[in-house]
Amino acid sequence: MGVLSGGHLAVDFAQGMVPAMLPFLVLRFDLSYTLAAVLMLAVTLSSSVVQPLFGIVSDRRGALWLLPVGLAVAGAGVAAAAVVPVYAVVVVAVTIAGIGIAAYHPEGAKFAAFASGTERAKGMSLFSIGGNLGYGLGPLIATPFIVWLGLEGALISLVPVLLLIVLVVRTTPRLRTLDTAAAAAPPVREGASDDRWGAMAILAAVIAIRSLAWFGLITFVPLWWVSRGHSEADGNHLLSAMLLTGAIGTILVGRVGDRVGLRRTMIVTQAALTPLILLFLLVGGPIGVIALALVGMCVVGTFGVTLVLSQLYLPRRVGLASGLAIGLAMGLGGIAAIALGAVADAIDLRTAMLVSACAPVVGLVLCLALPAPAGEGRSGIGERLRYALSGRRLTSADRARSAGGEST
């Protein structure tokens, strides 16, 4: 789990460098808000649309090679974006980086599920916290080098990605034993499908709405802070604070999800988002900064929860479920974020961010429509997931034994 989470940290570290580079790319190419949002759209869309395809490959054949290759492609794309002199080539470079990011996530999430045991939300939170820390550390570590050396300084920041590639390659034989153990689970009789596509569709919509607000903040918080009279470095530090607080929230929210239920956790955190974003925008000051940090906790903290929900809704397609939860649904929000850039250009940045603040209200309504996932309770989750992750069905005897608490 440590290696998988570390690889997640490295790949999202590369992705987190893109918003940190935005203010400097805006200066280099004299970009409008819309063109700045295009860069975020490129990396988000490329890392999301193809992610379910990698998930399908993972489910059908297994593809451990995607872990180191995804890391390498992500790092190479971000490095190219820092040095190329043409805006259009920067767009291509961050798109390639996004494909590498997409390659890592489904396979990494699947093996994290293998390693999680029965404390699923806690285990997936440990996987998620790597990515959340990486995304938060990206601006924090890259900014000083960029301020010192210009955008080329981002190359120095990518050294951790190289180190994690080596570590993942060296650990691949041990990771393969997790796959072997899952495949060795005793076969059971085929029955009716446990996949719940309707529930997954609602969850995907919730994630898309949540990511609209999230990517609006990631893209425009540094630029908003600059517009309030602060420096580009200060804006990136504020972005890092939001992301790192979210990483802390990942562990807390994951434990809460295991105790009180995944659906309840989603409803409470979604309900808190709009008031917190409005506090940041309308009140500002120390109260606004604290509110923004709590936004990070509510959004980033639920990444692991939504990942577990997706895998419980589609227990026979864990890789695909992970790709849909992490990638495609978030990509839809990233597409909507470019519309916020157009609003910022047509009206002003404040209006665009207020629109972003209102989006979670729709997400809350959708959260209320989420059905309780089968097997969420502790009494049945262990046995159900053991077979689900091995791609086999539960027999009625297995379900009866699981309900009786033997799996726990």
Domains recognised in the chain with CATH numbers: 2-403 (1.20.1250.20)
Model pLDDT, residue 185: 47
Closest CA to 312 of 199, 392, 209: 199
**Residue 70 CB neighbours (<10 A):** 29
Is 282 within 8 Å of 228 (Cβ atoms)? no
Per-residue pLDDT tens, the chain, 408 aa: give them. Answer: 889 999 999 998 998 888 888 888 988 898 887 888 788 878 877 887 788 888 887 777 767 888 999 999 999 999 999 999 999 999 999 999 999 998 998 888 888 878 776 666 677 777 877 887 787 788 888 888 988 888 888 899 899 889 999 999 998 888 888 765 555 444 433 443 578 888 888 998 888 888 888 878 877 888 888 887 777 777 777 877 887 787 777 778 877 877 888 888 899 999 999 999 999 888 877 888 899 889 888 887 788 788 888 888 888 887 778 777 776 666 666 677 677 878 888 888 888 888 888 888 998 999 999 988 765 544 333 344 343 444 444 444 444 444 443 333
pLDDT of residue 380: 38
pLDDT of the residue at 385: 39
Residues 6+ apart with CB under 8 A from 146: 20, 21, 24, 153, 154
**CA-closest candidate to residue 22, choices 217, 208, 175:** 217
Given this model, what pLDDT does residue 353 score? 85
Q: Say how far apart CA 217 and CA 245 lie, in whole Å.
A: 14
As a whole number of angstroms, the distance between CA 146 and CA 152 comes to 7
One-letter amino acid for residue 366 of the chain: L
pTM of the model: 0.66
Q: What is the pLDDT of residue 397?
A: 45
Count the alpha carbons within 13 Å of 318 in the hemisphere toward its beta carbon.
Answer: 26
Match 């898309």 to its residue by tokens: 208
